[in-house]
């Protein structure tokens, strides 16, 4: 984990903001607080924190909007976000994940639970970049030369299929929503016009081309897709 990671807490309820700040400072993080969505956006752009603890219900620009705007801005797109919410309905959870929150914590939560989630999300985000060449079961990738082999035979991936595979592998087992995949593979401007069904179509083509290793691309119902990493094979 990053011991001096910067965390921005976005919460309009003073008592909750205070408890969260106290909890995270005790864990050694650098914490700042924003009281509404606009302040959150300004602070995130100015201070580039490592992680946002973002309340869903905020005056003015709400948490989902903050999340959407941060993800759309290349300066803040990679920020880790944990959403806090009083709502526990499945629909809200799915919307939060679709918009790119990394994790979700319903209120009321214990400080210990929050600290554990923060630590886990930061640990996932801090993983090193992929090595230039990479092997996973029968799958071999040379990311720089853009060569993919399955069982020592070259797989002919289209540029989009190649990017899709790289983005999934880079996420190291994390779920990526269709919206995130659209943004990262197709680019944000185009993502607005391309149907998320396009993602499903490319995923299914990519799975086929990867043969037996195609099974590593998992569908997570209501959330998106993830890549089953070789280290998960033993479990």
Characterise 107 by phi-psi region: left (phi > 0), alpha (psi -120 to 50), beta (else). beta
Find the part of the chain contacting Ca ion (CB under 5 A) among 21-29, 47-55, 108-116, 181-189. Answer: 47-55
Site for Ca ion contains 130 (CB under 5 A): no
CA of 77: how far to CAs of 100, 126, 234, in Å? Answer: 9, 15, 33
CA angle (215 as vertex; 176, 181 as ends), nearest 5: 20
Min. distance of Cβ 84 from Ca ion in angstroms? 8
57 lies in the binding site for Ca ion (CB under 5 A): yes
- The one-character DSSP state at 127 is P
From residue 173 to residue 212, the character string flagging contacts with Ca ion as x (rule: CB under 5 A) and all else as - is ----------------------------------------
Cβ distance to Ca ion smaller for residue 110 or 190? 110
* 102 touches Ca ion (CB under 5 A): no
CB of 10 to Ca ion, least distance (A): 9
Q: Which two tokens stand for residue 1?
A: 């984990």
Q: Which stretch binds Ca ion (CB under 5 A): 48-56, 119-127, 193-201, 221-229?
A: 48-56
Residue 73 interacts with Ca ion (CB under 5 A): yes or no: no
Q: For Ca ion, which is the closer residue by CB, 57 or 130?
A: 57
Across the beta sheet with 30-34, what order do the strands follow? Answer: 30-34, 6-10, 51-55, 80-85, 103-106
With binding defined as CB under 5 A, does residue 61 bind Ca ion? no
For Ca ion, the binding residue among 1, 12, 188, 209 (CB under 5 A) is: 12
- Report, in Å, the least distance between residue 56 CB and Ca ion: 7
User: Residue 228 carries which DSSP code?
Assistant: -
Pairing relationship of beta strands 80-85 and 51-55 according to DSSP bridges? parallel
Of the pair 55, 103, the CB lying nearest Ca ion is at 55
d(CA 188, CA 72): 7
For Ca ion, the closer of residues 12 and 200 by Cβ is 12
Residue 20, judged by CB atoms within 10 A of its CB (0-12, 13-18, 19+), counts as buried
Residues at the interface with Ca ion (CB under 5 A): 12, 55, 57
């Amino acid at each position: 984990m990053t011991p001096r990671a910067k965390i921005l807490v976005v919460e309009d309820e003073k008592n909750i903001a205070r408890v969260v700040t106290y909890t995270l400072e005790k864990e050694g993080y650098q914490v700042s607080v924003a009281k509404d969505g606009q302040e959150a956006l300004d602070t995130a752009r100015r201070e580039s924190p490592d992680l946002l603890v973002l309340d869903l219900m905020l005056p003015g620009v709400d948490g989902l909007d903050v999340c959407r705007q941060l993800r759309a801005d290349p300066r803040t797109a990679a920020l880790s976000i944990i959403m806090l919410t009083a709502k526990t309905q499945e629909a809200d959870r799915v919307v939060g994940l679709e918009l790119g929150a990394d994790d979700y914590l319903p209120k009321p939560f214990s400080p210990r639970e929050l600290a554990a989630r923060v630590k886990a999300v930061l640990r996932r985000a801090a993983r090193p970049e992929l090595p230039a060449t990479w092997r996973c079961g029968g799958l071999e990738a040379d990311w720089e030369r853009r060569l993919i082999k399955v069982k020592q035979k070259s797989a002919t991936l289209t540029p989009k299929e190649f990017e899709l595979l790289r983005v999934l592998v880079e996420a190291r087992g994390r779920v990526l929503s269709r919206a995130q995949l659209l943004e990262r593979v197709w680019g944000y401007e185009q993502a607005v016009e391309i149907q998320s069904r396009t993602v499903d179509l490319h995923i299914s083509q990519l799975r086929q081309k990867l043969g037996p290793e195609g099974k590593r691309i998992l569908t997570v119902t209501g959330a998106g897709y993830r890549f089953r990493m070789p280290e998960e094979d033993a479990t």
